[in-house]
Amino acid sequence: MWQQSTRYPDPAVEVIDPSFAQYRVFSAAVERLATGFRWCEGPVWFGDQRSLLWSDIPNNRIMRWDEETGATSVFRKPSDHANGNTRDRQGRLVTCEHGGRRVTRTEYDGSITVIADSYQGKPLNSPNDVVVKSDGSIWFTDPPFGILGNYEGHKAKPESGQNVYRVDGASGEITAVATDVDGPNGLCFSPDENKLYLVASRATPNRLIYVYDVVDGRTLANGRVFIDAGPGTPDGFRCDIDGNLWCGWGMGSDELDGVVIYNPAGKLIGRIRLPERCANLCFGGLKRNRLFMAASQSIYALYVNTQGAPGG
């Protein structure tokens, strides 16, 4: 049975390289905010509501945690087996849906707008994770994971490649910016938006994190391996303002479950150990200095001495 540490510093927050020590808050411990879910994904912070939203994919719902009261409630059900979530630069919720095989936007009045559901006349697979660039463009990954069975979506045959897409914020035009990736999964921009990081979660023999140069804010070039995950499994991630990559991690052994932190040079500098695999994470709180971690069946949080980069 997991219990929150009463020791400071929390031994679950591990300094692997001395450079990570500056990001650890001495008197902050990993907290479990909520548990009892089937598969947590896509956390996103709504500061104007002081709340966290996340997807509980098999239960076909988006959940909400309230910072003021600590209460957990259902934000939306059914959610069309929502997975990844983010906010656009106007503060609206953007969601990847396995069930609808689409990316949607929730308008201020609660209505749903379809951003993308097909490419070149063929339906998307099962959009997985999504980020919004400062120019308003929406970038998302589209592996087939959500249509491989009926647990996280509806079983269907893939008709499109495993691509990364960009949807223009003004015209709505969709383009494939990376094609035939081996299981494209989590993605995020560097703080200056000159680089895009991308998980290839079906690469062999090991899962990989790629980094691409962003050209003219619209296309990707010079894709290369940034991290070889070895026995680990990276999933979703976000950058902090210093360009460090905070990665949801797990599967392989208990020692790998949690979050790992790499510096901009690709060096492993820190780890947050959790009792469950962490699928995805985001920064939130008043100062964007609270890390929210969506693990298998639970949501965890940790105050850190940095801030999430805007747009994450």
pLDDT at residue number 112 = 97
pLDDT digits (tens, 9 = 90+) for 40-88: 999 999 999 999 999 999 999 999 999 999 999 999 999 999 999 999 9
Mean pLDDT of the chain: 96
The amino acid sitting at 117 is: D
Smallest CA-to-CA distance from 182 within 210, 155, 156, 159 is with 210
pLDDT at residue number 252 = 63
Smallest CA-to-CA distance from 312 within 171, 177, 166, 129 is with 129
Cβ density class 151-171: b for 16+ within 10 Å, e for less: ebbeeeebebbbbbbbbebee
pLDDT at residue number 119 = 98
Percent of the chain with pLDDT over 90: 96
Q: What would the DSSP string read from start to end of 3-28?
A: ----SSS-TTEEESSGGGGGGB-TT-
Block mean pLDDT (10 aa), the chain, length 312? 91 98 98 98 97 98 98 98 97 97 97 98 98 97 97 96 97 96 97 98 95 97 96 95 97 83 98 96 97 98 97 72
Query: CA–CA separation, 305 vs 245, rounded Å?
Result: 14
Omega before 9 cis (within 30°)?
yes
Cβ density class 4-15: b for 16+ within 10 Å, e for less: eeeeebbebbbb
Check: CB of residue 229 under 8 Å from CB of residue 235: no
Which tokens is 2 given?
A: 């997991």
pLDDT at residue number 264 = 98
pLDDT digits (tens, 9 = 90+) for 161-199: 999 999 999 999 999 999 989 999 999 999 999 999 999
